Amino acid sequence: MKIEEIIYKTYDEINSMSRFDLKEMPRKAKWYLRILSWILSFPETFFVKSSVNKVNMDGLKGGYIMLCNHNSFVDFKVATRAIFPRSSSYIVAIDGFIGREKLMRDVGCFPTRKFISDSGIVRQIKHSVEVNKQICQIYPEARYSLVGTTSILPDSLGKLCKLIGHPVVTLISHGHHLRQPFWNLTKRKVKSTTNMTQILTVDDLKSLSVEEINRKIRDAFEYDDYQYQLDNKIKIDFIDRAKNLHKVLYQCPKCKTEFEMDSDTNKIWCKVCNDTHQMDELGRLHNLEGETRFPHIPDWFEWQREMVKKEIASGKYHLELDVMVDMLPNSSGFYRIGGGKISHSLNGFILTIGEGSEKLEVVKSVKSNYGIHLEFDYFGRGDGFSFSTKDDTFYLYPENTNYSITKLHFAVEELYIKSTK
């Protein structure tokens, strides 16, 4: 079936279906698919004039882990160019396998459900670097950056790298968010720069603690596309450069109202107090009448995080939403099981589907999600988010279309951080 199709099934029908095989070891990419991936990747990286700077990479052979930041689909193509003529395996979210599971596995991909604890993935990565002697690409942020800055990284990353015991390389790209921001996927002409750096040797992994390894990884993952744009004077004259910006900047800094922002062409404004900002060609915001509190988009974004953090600290944070529920049991596609209710509080998520004897309740604790996967206008279904259990992934689309799922992004992260202190 086509991924855009909405196919209705009962939960019992979905429950009887086979699930993704998350234990199969990654395959070594077939030679002809390696060539095809190069052919498909090089034209677009040439178009964006992507440059790759390699640091501490001389003499690095055999398998290793490559940790990549994640801003748009071109990340994969730049990574393919960066490691040329070698190939790699890829940890890919299960929705990437819909309708093409055999092809994805033959390319070297192996699936995972996002934000769940899966000890089997350690064995798969080890198989990739030790048996297949390949590079294993990991995108530890596990979702596209919303404003071109670093997303939260899991504390388990350092432990994983230490367990694998092979060199760790970071691939950090600058400009990919500017070229195709997650909230408006129309491509713009932007030159990108990528730094490929070996940050941890085998000896480093033996001698450093998990905390020290995490610190090195987090230091390497510091990036800010809008600062990169300003520093390099990259002008973007695309007329709709601010269209849909309100999806990530959902709260007015002047009147503090949530979910009443709107945007179009190069402007974003509050529908309550009419406070209006214009985005210039260097990605800076300018208030058209009053004080410009946040000329730098990530600063406005992080201010919203602080507002959510205060709401959590006060004990008042609570979310209740009516949602449409899709499930993704395997690569055959999404199945809609109808309406449900989702609550998110200081204790985590509760998803309720159905009533009476057919009632299904899915509970996720705060500590089980260090982040959450968002989608904007996902295949025409609207804005939504997903979370997973071991066997299922639920895609949830709020019926209140005014609600900004970006607030949920902050709440999940901040509750997780609070729970680890």
pLDDT at site 357: 66
Mean pLDDT score, 358-387: 91
pLDDT classification of 1: cutoffs 50, 70, 90:
low
pLDDT at site 117: 77
**Residues 158-176: pLDDT tens digits?**
999 999 999 999 999 999 9
The residue type at 58: D
Q: Could you tell me the CA-to-CA distances from 182 to 53, 148, 161, 337 in Å, in that order?
A: 25, 9, 29, 27
**Residues 70-83: pLDDT tens digits?**
999 999 999 999 99
pLDDT at site 40: 82
Residue 94 has pLDDT above 80, yes or no: yes
Residue 99 has pLDDT above 80, yes or no: yes
Residue 195 has pLDDT above 80, yes or no: yes
Q: Are 108 and 90 in contact (CB under 8 A)?
A: yes
pLDDT at site 29: 87
Rounded Cα gap, residues 222 and 220, in angstroms: 6
**Residues 326-371: pLDDT tens digits?**
999 999 999 999 999 999 999 999 999 987 767 889 999 999 888 9
Q: Interior CA angle at 146 toward 283 and 241, to 5°?
A: 35
Q: What's the mean pLDDT when you consider all of the chain? A: 93
